[in-house]
Structure formats: structure tokens, C-alpha cells
Chains A and B, each alone.
Chain A
Amino acid sequence: MHTFLFRLNALATFAISTLAALCAVAAFTDVFHASNPVVNVSLARVERLHPVPSSGNDEAFLAFKISADLSSLFSWNTKQLFVWLDASYETPRNVENHVSLWDRIITSREEAVLSLPYVRNKYKLVDQGNYLRNRALNLTMHWNVMPSTGALWHGSKTFSGFRLPKRYTNDRN
């Protein structure tokens, strides 16, 4: 402690240790945070279902109705939410198919209230093969909660009972 640099070193090391402890305590407070996310997703319309000319694989153009209130997921230690919509279905070729169709990054409580009556899929839904006609579809809303400090955690809600049209359609306006 007898020179400026010694004292600077002592301060810096102690400050970093304290910061680590502070972050750990902040992360721990999330244990007591109760959240109650309300999510509702439905298939608004199948705009188009056709085989892609180049590959012959089926492609579906969908539109969803999303209404959700994820604001309760935010605690004081939450940096942002990553929300995405996942379609899953079974085909004779693949037992399990998962396709991400839409996502959004939510950085505040105000943005966490979603009311989207008609959203098209942001990412393509292309099957491996020609199995999309008359296919049962599950839609799952996932959310990743990213804290400022602490562990990232995940939640989801699945909506089932959707079915793609029996024939290739082009209903797009």
C-alpha cells in the first residue's frame, strides 16, 4: 500500500471481486421472481401450399394470429427476451420436423405485449419431400429469457390441432 500503483492494484482487484459478488446476488434474486406469461397462437390462413419448382419439396406460406403478454417475464435483471415460433409435424420420411417460422427480440416490458392479428412466416417452411398436404401441424411459442447476469432460461407453450390443406393452393392476395 506504499505506492500509488500498489493502492490502484488493491482497489482494482477488490472492486472486481465485489462486482462478481454483486452480479451473483442480482442473479440470485431472480429465484424469487414469479412470471405468468399469457400466450395465444393460431393459424390465421394458409396463403399458399405448393411444391418448389427447383427441388420438388413442398413449401407452405402461412399467416398467424399471435396475442401474448410476456411482460411478467421481465424482472429487474432481465436484459431481453428472444421469442420464436416453431412448427412441428410428423411425416413418413421424418419422425420429427421442427421449423422456426418467426422470431422477435423484445427488449422492454412495453414491447412484451404482442398483438399481431396477421403475421406471415418470416422464415420459409419447406418440407423434405412432398408430405405437407393434409398434414397435422403443431405451433409452439418459445421464449428465452436473457438476464443481465445469471443463467439464460427457456419456456414454451404448444398449440396443436392445425392442419394444412388437402390440396396445393394459392390463396395469396
Chain B
Amino acid sequence: MDFVGQKLAESLILWVVLLGALVGFLLGYTLESYKTMMQVYALGCVLAAILALPDWFFFNQNPVTWLPSIQKREEQRRKDKKAAKATTGGEASSATAADAKKNKTKK
């Protein structure tokens, strides 16, 4: 469940339970039946549980995008350099070559 999904789940719990309570009260009061009020309220709670408790697909519409791991970033950088050398033949990519030398000396 992503962050937007968590917010959605919280709102669902809030509004479905409140709606069940409100409709239950109005219905129970007009029908003069305490039992009806409690049944409608319980229905609202069950509905909220079904809607908001499982990790439904609609809670995962905005996945969090993480930065790639450092290891992967290094690999990616090496690949990029190789690709640059292969295409330009060295002179044009002097800046990247210099970077590569610096990296080597650091290591």
C-alpha cells in the first residue's frame, strides 16, 4: 500500500463508518427501531472493513519510486562510459574519460 493509498484507506474508514452511523440513526429514529439503527451501523463497519482492510489494487496506484541502489548506480555508470567510448572513439568524450581516471585513482 503506497502513501496515497494509506490516505485513501483512512478516509474510507472515516466516512463509511460515519455514514453508517448517520443513516442508521435517521432510519432507526424514523422507524422507531433501535435494532435497525444498530444493524445499519454494523453494516457500515463491515463495509468499511471490506473496503479498507485488505491491500486492494486501488491502494497501489501511486507506487513510491526509490533511487536505484549505489551498486546499481555504479554499474550503470560504467556501462554508460563504455557506450560513450564505443560511439565517439575517445576525444569527444574527454570529460567522461577524465572522470573515469579520477574514479580509478580514488580506488
Chain A interfacial positions (CB closer than 8 Å to B)? 1-2, 4, 7-8, 10-11, 14-15, 18-19, 21-22, 25-26, 29, 75-77, 148
CB B22 to nearest CB in A, in angstroms, measures 9
Q: Which of A1, A25, A29, A148 contacts B1 (CB 8 A)?
A: A1
Q: Is B53 an interface residue (CB 8 A)?
A: yes
Contacts of B28 in A (CB 8 A): 26, 76
- What are 8 A-B contacts with C-beta separation under 8 Å? A1-B6, A1-B7, A4-B54, A8-B49, A11-B52, A15-B45, A22-B21, A22-B41
Residues of A within 8 A of B25 (CB): 22, 25-26
Q: Is the CB of B10 within 8 A of A10?
A: yes
Closest B residue to A79 by CB, please name it: B34
A19 B41 Cβ-Cβ under 8 A: yes
Q: Which residue of A lies closest to B32 (CB)?
A: A76
Known contacts A14-B17, A25-B25, A76-B28: does B55 contact A4 (CB below 8 Å)? yes
Give the distance to chain A from B14, nearest Cβ to Cβ, in Å.
Answer: 7
CA distance A76 to B31 in the complex (A): 8
What's the Cα separation between A142 and B21 when bound, in Å? Answer: 35
Question: Count the A-B residue pairs with Cβ separation under 8 angstroms: how many?
Answer: 57
Given contacts A11-B52, A15-B45, contact A22 B6 (CB under 8 A): no
**B13 near A: Cβ within 8 Å?**
yes
Given contacts A2-B1, A18-B21, contact A26 B53 (CB under 8 A): no
B62 to chain A, nearest CB (A): 14
What is the bound-complex CA distance between A102 and B52, given in angstroms? 54
Which residues of B16-55 have CB atoms within 8 Å of chain A's CB atoms?
A: 17-18, 21, 24-25, 28-29, 32-34, 37, 41, 45, 48-49, 52-55
A-side interface mostly: helix
**Once bound together, how far apart are the Cα atoms of A15 and B54, in whole Å?**
17
Contacts of B37 in A (CB 8 A): 22, 26
Whether A1 lies near B33 (C-beta < 8 A) is no
Contact check, A7 vs B14: say whether CB atoms are below 8 A apart: no
Complex: chain A residue closest to B55, CB-CB? A4
Which B residue's beta carbon lies closest to that of A29? B29
- Sorted nearest first, the 5 A-B pairs with minimum C-beta distance are A1-B6, A76-B32, A15-B45, A18-B21, A148-B34
Please measure, in the bound complex, the distance between the C-alpha atom of A11 and the C-alpha atom of B54, giving whole angstroms.
12
Instruction: Please state if A7 and B52 are interface contacts (CB–CB under 8 Å).
Output: yes
Given A7-B52, A15-B45, A76-B28, are A1 and B34 neighbors across the interface (CB < 8 Å)? no
A10 and B13 form a contact (CB under 8 A): yes
Known: A4-B53, A4-B55, A22-B41. A11 touches B13 (CB 8 A): yes
Q: How far is the CA of A143 from the CA of B17 in the complex (A)?
A: 37
Report B-chain residues with C-beta under 8 Å of the C-beta of A15: 17, 45, 48
